[in-house]
Structure 1
Amino acid sequence: MTPFPATAWLPSDQEHWTTAELEHLGIGRSARRRLLTTGDIVRLRPGLFARRRAAPAPGMRDLADQTLHAHVHRSAARPDAAYVYSHTSAARLRGLRFLRDSSTIHVSCTSNPCTRRLGAGVRTHIVHLPEDHVENIAGIRCTTLERTIIDCARIMPLEDAVILADQALGLGADLALLLRMLEGMTGYRGVVNARRVVELADPRSESVAESRARLLFHLEGLPNPIPQWEVQTPIGRRFLDFAWPEKMLAAEFDGEVKYFGSTPTDRALYEERLRERHLMELGWRFVRLTWSDLERPGEVRRRITSALRGPAPPPRT
């Protein structure tokens, strides 16, 4: 007799299930193993499964996004959940980009909840959150943008946290409120690093790469450039990623998005060369950086220092 397929018990209106939910549907360990073998479901992480069409594309960022959204989906079914999404999970819910992605889910609550209810791969932070540090995003309770950045800065490396803080300020995070929050957290673990992150953050960075480059300049002791420096050219306003105007020197980051984004590559290359030609005719010099250059800070410092020492050409109108 042919066994009844386990897929018959999978609700058509659901994409994600925990182990307990599959057990409740009558899909035990052997049936789950069969579904995993046939590819009808995939394991996102221990204790969490998804229909194959809902599985993330390869890549840690996709996996982290999908894992968090699956957990949020489970939480929506439990309105009495006594936790708040915080730290990197709250940042991810807002669409912030990370230098290094992780599928760990962060929640904050006043007491240690049942680990089984939270699921595997969840890190709990026991803390009392004032009500004005919590808000709803599409019905999901999470920490405010300002509290999220402070929490991330307390547990993340400086470079990773500055990248998030730049984006947060660009989204409208209140700098004065950030500073007031930090004043009230004296003595908290990681607050010294958080203060430094807030001091270094700049909303003018338009990408993860630009945030990394700006921080590299600072840590290598280079004179601070002006991000997004505006220049009037014969073909209109153009912006330089970083500029030392008194030296007529610009540092530009060449990333894949610039040349392989929505604009066809040939067109993007033509427009970039046209832009650079007009800027060079005005006297601007360029140091071009790539993602791999950011892994060699000493070499970047040498190139920019050498360019800054050279005589600046007279600006031309």
Structure 2
Amino acid sequence: MHVEPEILNAAVTLRREYLAEGITDAQIRRLVRRRQITRIRHGSYVQTALWESLSREDRHRLLIRAVLKRGHPSMVITHVSAAVERGCSIWGVALDDVDVTRVDGRAGRSEAGVRHHAGSFTDEEIEVVNGVALSVAPRTVVEVTTRCDVESSLVLVNQLLHNGQLDKRQLRNAAEYFKYWPGTLTTTLVERLANPRLTSVAESRTWYLCWAQHLPCPEPQVAVHDENGVVVAYADFAWRQHGVFLEFDGRIKYERYRRKGETLEDYLMREKRREELICLLTGWVCIRIQWADLAHPERTAARIQRILDSRRSPIPA
């Protein structure tokens, strides 16, 4: 999460709150025209400067708060919206609508920008995170997998596993407990593919590509040791038996691992030296892929397979 929940919790102002302060509808419209405030849904406004600074996930978190301020008190945030509030980055799923479920058993009225779900909860299936009532993480992942495809679901589930909000036992138990829900065949598949060692959207999508394209399963986050047994680098993925490792290039990775005061050129040079060090210590060859490669999985998989097939006598790490 990039924005503190305290900021988001106080950011939404309703039309009725403006009116109570003596601000008229004409004045509200004037503020919108001047881009001082932005209407994010019917009767709900935020400061434009804040709205424009937010990621799509944090904008969705503001939409959640706007829905809750005008919604029924029994609303619980569920499905993809619950995953977003837990800090997950989203891939392949639109964030236009907020997912809610009412615990009184009623689906609630239909309205634009809100996806109402019918369902019931036990007390143990609801928790408050950042001041928002959410379905607990094991239930959230089942909700997500019944609505989203395998790849999009895997991206979310791996993040929850990696950040410690969920473990494999809880995931397995939830898949079994909710197995009679419609759509849980996806849940079973995601549970099998999920891996807490996958740390990013890119890594989860690369892992999915290898599975979907029937490549040999790589090992993620592989430690590379020097001559004294000290870990000096990590490879995103490796096929030890082939002597091949794979690195993902992407803007988010650059932002995450660039050191304070380091230019992009400096970072790229340091990455090049890291790759050369891995090759020197292991004898492996490197494959680099980017976001564009994930958009062409068959072509990318064929390139990876050709390199794997070409490695006849790899040098073990």
TM-score range, shorter chain: 0.7 to 0.9
CA drift of 1:14 comes to 6.0
CA drift of 1:254 comes to 0.8
Match of 1:6 in 2: none
Match of 1:212 in 2: 205
Of 134, 144, 150, which aligns to 2:136? 144
Label 1:252 to 1:14 Cα distance change in 2 as closer, same or farther (>3 A): closer
Label 1:56 to 1:93 Cα distance change in 2 as closer, same or farther (>3 A): same
User: Residue 105 of structure 2: SS of its match in structure 1?
Assistant: coil
Task: Give CA deviations for 1:220-271 in whole Å, capped at 9, x if unaligned.
Answer: 0111111111111368431111111011011110112333444322331222
Unpaired segments ≥5 residues, structure 1:
1-12
CA drift of 1:156 comes to 1.0
The within-5 A match list for 1:55-94 is 55-57=51-53, 60-71=56-67, 74=69, 81-94=73-86
1:169 aligns with 2:161: yes
Look up the equivalent residue of 2:89 and give its one-letter code: R
Higher mean displacement: 230-239 or 189-198: 230-239
The within-5 A match list for 1:75-224 is 81-100=73-92, 101-109=94-102, 110-112=104-106, 115=109, 120-172=112-164, 173-224=166-217
CA drift of 1:114 comes to 5.2
Label 1:163 to 1:62 Cα distance change in 2 as closer, same or farther (>3 A): same
Look up the equivalent residue of 1:56 and give its one-letter code: E
8 Å Cα contact 1:42-1:49 kept in structure 2: yes
Unpaired segments ≥5 residues, structure 2:
1-8
8 Å Cα contact 1:283-1:313 kept in structure 2: no
User: Residue 187 of structure 1: SS of its match in structure 2?
Assistant: coil
User: Residue 52 of structure 2: SS of its match in structure 1?
Assistant: coil
**Whole-angstrom distance in 1 between the partners of 2:57 and 2:163:** 21
User: Residue 55 of structure 1: SS of its match in structure 2?
Assistant: helix
CA drift of 1:29 comes to 4.0
Match of 2:5 in 1: none
Label 1:30 to 1:127 Cα distance change in 2 as closer, same or farther (>3 A): same
Higher mean displacement: 207-216 or 31-40: 31-40
User: Residue 135 of structure 1: SS of its match in structure 2?
Assistant: strand
Look up the equivalent residue of 1:225 and give its one-letter code: P
Q: Over the residues paired in the alignment, what is the CA RMSD in angstroms?
A: 2.6
Look up the equivalent residue of 2:210 and give its one-letter code: F
User: Residue 53 of structure 2: SS of its match in structure 1?
Assistant: coil
User: Residue 227 of structure 1: SS of its match in structure 2?
Assistant: strand
Label 1:36 to 1:154 Cα distance change in 2 as closer, same or farther (>3 A): same
Higher mean displacement: 186-195 or 213-222: 186-195
Task: Give CA deviations for 1:254-312 in whole Å, capped at 9, x if unaligned.
Answer: 11233344432233122211111122223111111000000011111111110111134
**Whole-angstrom distance in 2 between the partners of 1:284 and 1:148:** 40
TM-score normalised by length of structure 2 = 0.85
Match of 1:4 in 2: none
Q: Larger Cα Rg: Structure 1 or Structure 2?
A: 1
Aligned residues between the structures: 299
TM-score normalised by length of structure 1 = 0.85
User: Residue 56 of structure 1: SS of its match in structure 2?
Assistant: helix
**Whole-angstrom distance in 1 between the partners of 2:132 and 2:21:** 27
Match of 2:305 in 1: 305
Q: Percent identity?
A: 27
Match of 2:37 in 1: 41
Label 1:284 to 1:92 Cα distance change in 2 as closer, same or farther (>3 A): same
**Whole-angstrom distance in 1 between the partners of 2:73 and 2:133:** 10
User: Residue 247 of structure 2: SS of its match in structure 1?
Assistant: strand
Task: Give CA deviations for 1:131-157 in whole Å, capped at 9, x if unaligned.
Answer: 221112244221111111111111112
**Whole-angstrom distance in 2 between the partners of 1:15 and 1:223:** 48
Match of 2:250 in 1: 255
CA drift of 1:171 comes to 2.4
8 Å Cα contact 2:218-2:237 kept in structure 1: yes
Label 1:137 to 1:258 Cα distance change in 2 as closer, same or farther (>3 A): closer
**Whole-angstrom distance in 2 between the partners of 1:222 and 1:14:** 48
